[in-house]
Each structure stands twice: as C-alpha cells, then as structure tokens.
Amino acid sequence: QKEVEQNSGPLSVPEGAIASLNCTYSDRGSQSFFWYRQYSGKSPELIMFIYSNGDKEDGRFTAQLNKASQYVSLLIRDSQPSDSATYLCAVMLGGTASKLTFGTGTRLQVTL
Amino acid sequence: DVKVTQSSRYLVKRTGEKVFLECVQDMDHENMFWYRQDPGLGLRLIYFSYDVKMKEKGDIPEGYSVSREKKERFSLILESASTNQTSMYLCASSPGTGNSEQYFGPGTRLTVT
C-alpha cells in the first residue's frame, strides 16, 4: 500500500461546479496535510495546508481532514478553466519531521 | 513572498559529465530539499538539509550528492551524469521549527545525452 494515494484522474467537471479531490494516507500518526497545484511544465504551488481535524477554507478552496478515516479532501467551488491542473496531496507522516510524502496527483479538467 | 530560485530552467549535459544544480531561497528557511519528478512516479526526495552543513538522504540518493555551505543555498551534484538521470529537478524550502509547508523553485529540466 502506498503511503499517500490519489486517483490519477482525469477528473472532469463543468465550469461553475464543485470539484472534489481526495487523498488517503496510511500512517495514523500523520500530523500535517498539504495541497499543491501544478500546471503542466511548471513547479508545484502551495494552495493550502491543514494541521487539525475539520475544515479549512480559503476563498474558493476548502480542505477537509478526516483523521479517523485517514483521508483529506480538497473542494474547489465555482470551478474555472484556470483551475485545470494536477493537484498534489502531501502528508507529513508520523516521525518524519519536516519531510513530506507526496501523492502522484489528480489531474483536474474544468470544461466550458 | 517566499522566493526559491534555481540556476537553470533547462540544461543539457553529456553522459559522464559532472553536473551542478543550484538553489537559493531568500526567506531564511531552515530546511531545503531536492526532488526529482518523473511521469507516473511523482515527486521523489533525493536529499534534504535541516541546517548548514547538515544533509540527510532521501528516498533515491544514489548517484547524487549535495552541499549546503550557506543557509540560503543548497546545491545538488551529479558526480557522473547518466541518461537515467534525465528528469525535472525541483528544489524546495520550508521554514522549519514546526512549520513544514514547502515552497518550490521553478525547476530545472535536465537532459543527459
């Protein structure tokens, strides 16, 4: 089992809809969770991070963490074509201070 | 804003050459990281550093070495480049001391022929 897993997609949503991206992780001791956006040919860009259980909202983006079920989600409201990118989930696994383990990413396509 | 810069966006080297990739961050971050990214394999950690002159092996250190002589600068060295080291190389930094969010540089696409 991979330590951080994401569905590779593509996930296709119409413009204006909510895109829901999911990430599961294997280590119950994981402390911190991060979402990055990566456009083709570019480097990953940090969108948001979450340390505790519950939701965190930043503009159109919401991160949801469920520690009991060991998954973290990213919701993108009012999806725009400019949101089309690969979204990487990263987890600071227990006992790996400051190191992040990345999933392989989910490709999101927002269609007109 | 955090700024992480890398010495080259594109680099073409020959097999057997010694290759230096440089990374500089301007936010006084404690931690710096080198990754490579390949299609289908995601981001893989090569080396990281928690402090000046400190280095730790990541998941795939073979064929690479690093140097951190100053806090803001972290260099990745390919001692003898091989074709299987053709990849996108990404440098990142994070503040440290409980703040582990990483910020990436623009990347260097290295081709070894």
- B16/B99: higher pLDDT: B16
* Strand intervals (E) in chain B: 4-6, 10-13, 19-25, 31-38, 42-49, 56-57, 64-70, 73-78, 87-94, 103-104, 108-112
Provide the mean pLDDT of chain B.
Answer: 94
- Report the residue of chain A nearest B87, measured CA to CA: A41
Q: Is the pLDDT of residue B108 over 80?
A: yes
Interface test with A, best of B43, B54, B74, B108 (most A CBs within 10 A): B43
Provide the mean pLDDT of chain A.
Answer: 92
How confident is the model at residue A99, as a pLDDT? 87
Q: Between chains, do A98 and B40 touch, taking CB under 8 Å as contact?
A: no
Determine the Cα angle at A106 with ends A100 and A111, to 5°: 145
**What is the distance between the alpha carbons of residues A63 and A53, in angstroms, rounded to a whole number?**
10
Q: Is the pLDDT of residue A96 over 70?
A: no
Q: Is the pLDDT of residue B1 over 90?
A: no
Determine the Cα angle at B38 with ends B12 and B6, to 5°: 50
C-alpha of A44 from chain center? 12
Mean pLDDT of B34-53: 93
**Percent of chain A at pLDDT above 90?**
78
Chain position carrying tokens 């020959």: B14
Q: Which residue, B31, B36, B2, is CA-closest to B19?
A: B36
Closest Cα in chain A, distance from residue B43 (Å): 6
**What is the distance between the alpha carbons of residues A46 and A26, in angstroms, rounded to a whole number?**
22
**Alpha helices per DSSP H over chain B:** none
- A101/B99: higher pLDDT: A101
Interface test with B, best of A8, A35, A43 (most B CBs within 10 A): A43
How confident is the model at residue A73, as a pLDDT? 96
Q: Is the pLDDT of residue A1 over 70?
A: no
Confidence of residue A98 (pLDDT cuts 50, 70, 90): confident
Peptide bond into A81 cis (omega under 30): no
Span of A88-97, B29-38, B75-84 with lowest mean pLDDT:
A88-97
Q: Is the pLDDT of residue A59 over 90?
A: yes
Both tokens assigned to B24: 């500089």
- B2/B88: higher pLDDT: B88
A14-35 residue pLDDT tens: 999 999 999 999 988 888 999 9
